[in-house]
Structure 1
Amino acid sequence: MPSLRSRALSVALIAAGRRRRFASAEAVRSHVAASARRPASHLPPRSLGRVAEVSRTFVGAWPVYDASPRGSEPAAQVLFVHGGGYINELVRPHWSMIRMLVTQARARVVVPAYILAPRGTADRTVPVAADLLSGLIESGRDGDGGTVLLGDSAGAGLALAAAQRLRDRSGVQPSRIVLISPWIDVSMSHPDQAAIEAADPMLARPGLREAGRLYAGTLAADDPRVSPLHGSFAGLAPLTVFTGTRDVLSTDSRELLRRARADGVEVEFHEEAGLPHAYPLLPVPEGRAARERIVELIRTAADR
């Protein structure tokens, strides 16, 4: 059973109308149009600079932030790929997670503010993410420790697609891939999703389908660059997956578990009853436990 705090948060999310953002295709198109007129900021909070050395470079048109522990060498590296349905920028919970990875895991965290849909489509975005991952792994070989690939929601989908592309290109993989509530099939066509959606306090299928369509661009929804669930899992790094049963995207996680294990990939799977989408980013006891596990995984990567 979920904690009292988790249940209260789900009620608060419903009351705040969080699902309205993805309630319809029109709602998503309206949001995208408003964001084009007045883009949201992806800048890190100033408070991060108190605990981390923060810098910014550009990879093509992408701003890429680099946060490292102050006063000490990083023990490991993390490529953190943020979620937001491919149409939203980094938000406070992402930066809170990044701060924790820097301070508790002593990790160097590289954070791309990738171009959002519809300007940023999978055919353009996945290769750049794969190049970033490749460069980070290479720098880790030069002494910066193991490399963990971490993403939430849409960012988890982009992260997985990048890992698949890198495997196909060179066979190289990070030490581990950690996926939080991964969105890895943008078609939203799983037969179990209708029942789960009724209890989901955050997400709804109509808006997700539209966001996925914008991200796909000219590609089909089942192209592995768009929906990496339809790609091969063979040869990927060990996977850790977090999902909750009140998340309409939990079907993606369960399908990933089945297909990855069938392809011989090690999967550590965490499914929390009654928890909503991306619960490891939320201020609830289950979220804290998930974050602590992620820190452990990064420390383990550092020891390899």
Structure 2
Amino acid sequence: MAFTLPEPLLRPLIRATGIGKPFKDADEARKHVRAFALRPQPYAPPRRIRRDVVIDVDRWRGWTVYRVKPRDTKPAGAVVYAHGGGWVNEMSFLHWHLVAELAAESATTFIVPIYPLIPFGTAAEVIARFVEITRETKATNTRTAIAGDSAGGQIALSTALELRDHHGITLDDTILISPALDLRFDNPEIPEVQPRDPILGVPGAQYFADIWRGDLPVTDPRVSPLLGDLRGLGRLLVLSGTDDILAPDIRDLIERLRAAGVPFDFYESTGQLHAYPLVPVPAGREARQVIAHRLQS
């Protein structure tokens, strides 16, 4: 990213923008869903983005799909990227700058589907489509990974499980940035973390998740991938900040990966917030370098 935000300014900025408000209160979450259903948010890439990438767009079975490629380097593989936002917020400028930076610095094509959000999109439909997109991507690329942040991390891991269980496909990498893993949000450590998390809150997250799961039980791995069988997955890279109510479930994931014999690397940054690798702070830059290095390896 072109600029760096001093970390002491991050929390005041978050509070000033009110981005955590819909997650902290179920009534605010309800208003948020209604407002964006009526007036959908923009999702297009910003006009000013890195000059060393090329962005193309296409339609795929009714979805808009972007491809972000390095301009002057032949891509060595492809990543299907699922953006976060609580299943209710669109692809943001932070997502775009993350994807552009990783595409350029790792010489990788990023495939970015714009999937339907709640109240219109549901887990069963969206995961099935991500499975199709990832299968088609793998058919034409020697190295294929899936990645996602927050709600997109849930989509990414659920997709990896579906690919393994129903298509016999093991991905080269699954990259999870502050993923939502268990949509029951009942980990007993969450109340301890909640006072330090200015972004997420259980009441709103549960409201969004209940719409997102549709007719599926919350324990279905397409909704809560932490509850799936993790054996036989390809290697994972997991990044998390400690001041994030999702951190306890992420630590649980790491223990389950270890027990299942799945290869993984885990980076937990003390004092960092939810999805910090997307943010232009020094710790975010270091995390993006970790991801780019993984994609190069």
TM-score range, shorter chain: over 0.9
Shift of 1:275: 0.6
| 1:165-180 matched pairs, under 5 angstroms | 165-180=162-177
* Rounded Cα–Cα distance in structure 2 between residues aligned with 1:12 and 1:48: 23
Partner of 2:19: 18
Measured against aligned partners, the alpha-carbon deviations of 1:144-199 in whole angstroms (never above 9, x if no partner) come to xx222111000010000000000011221221111000001111111110111111
- Asked if 1:29 is matched to 2:26, the reply is no
Q: Which residue identity is paired with 2:19?
A: R
Partner of 1:215: 212
Partner of 2:118: 117
- Asked if 1:161 is matched to 2:162, the reply is no
| 1:7-156 matched pairs, under 5 angstroms | 7-48=8-49, 50-141=51-142, 146-156=143-153
Structure 1: 5+ residue stretches without partners: none
Shift of 1:49: 7.7
Give the 3-state SS of the residue equivalent to 2:171 in structure 1: coil
* Rounded Cα–Cα distance in structure 1 between residues aligned with 2:192 and 2:283: 23
Shift of 1:72: 3.3
Q: Against the structure 1 CA distance between its residues 110 and 40, is the aligned structure 2 distance closer, same or farther, given a 3 Å change threshold?
A: same
* Rounded Cα–Cα distance in structure 2 between residues aligned with 1:100 and 1:137: 22
- Asked if 1:198 is matched to 2:191, the reply is no
* Rounded Cα–Cα distance in structure 2 between residues aligned with 1:54 and 1:151: 19
Give the 3-state SS of the residue equivalent to 1:54 in structure 2: strand
Q: RMSD between aligned alpha carbons?
A: 1.5
* Rounded Cα–Cα distance in structure 2 between residues aligned with 1:255 and 1:6: 28
Shift of 1:102: 2.1
TM-score by length of 2: 0.95
Partner of 1:288: 285
Give the 3-state SS of the residue equivalent to 1:185 in structure 2: coil
Partner of 1:261: 258
Partner of 1:182: 179
* Rounded Cα–Cα distance in structure 2 between residues aligned with 1:34 and 1:132: 29
Shift of 1:51: 3.1
Q: Which residue identity is paired with 2:244?
A: D
Shift of 1:59: 2.5
Question: How many residues are paired up?
Answer: 293
Shift of 1:60: 2.2
Partner of 1:243: 240
Give the 3-state SS of the residue equivalent to 2:196 in structure 1: coil
- Asked if 1:225 is matched to 2:222, the reply is yes
Shift of 1:24: 1.5
After TM superposition, the structure 1 stretch with the greater mean CA deviation from structure 2, 4-13 or 289-298, is 4-13
- The answer on whether the counterparts of 1:76 and 1:299 sit within 8 Å (CA) in structure 2 is no
* Rounded Cα–Cα distance in structure 2 between residues aligned with 1:210 and 1:164: 25
TM-score by length of 1: 0.93
Structure 2: 5+ residue stretches without partners: none
Give the 3-state SS of the residue equivalent to 1:140 in structure 2: coil
- The answer on whether the counterparts of 2:52 and 2:72 sit within 8 Å (CA) in structure 1 is no
After TM superposition, the structure 1 stretch with the greater mean CA deviation from structure 2, 123-132 or 57-66, is 57-66
Shift of 1:228: 0.6
Q: Which residue identity is paired with 1:29?
A: R
After TM superposition, the structure 1 stretch with the greater mean CA deviation from structure 2, 65-74 or 220-229, is 65-74
Shift of 1:222: 1.2
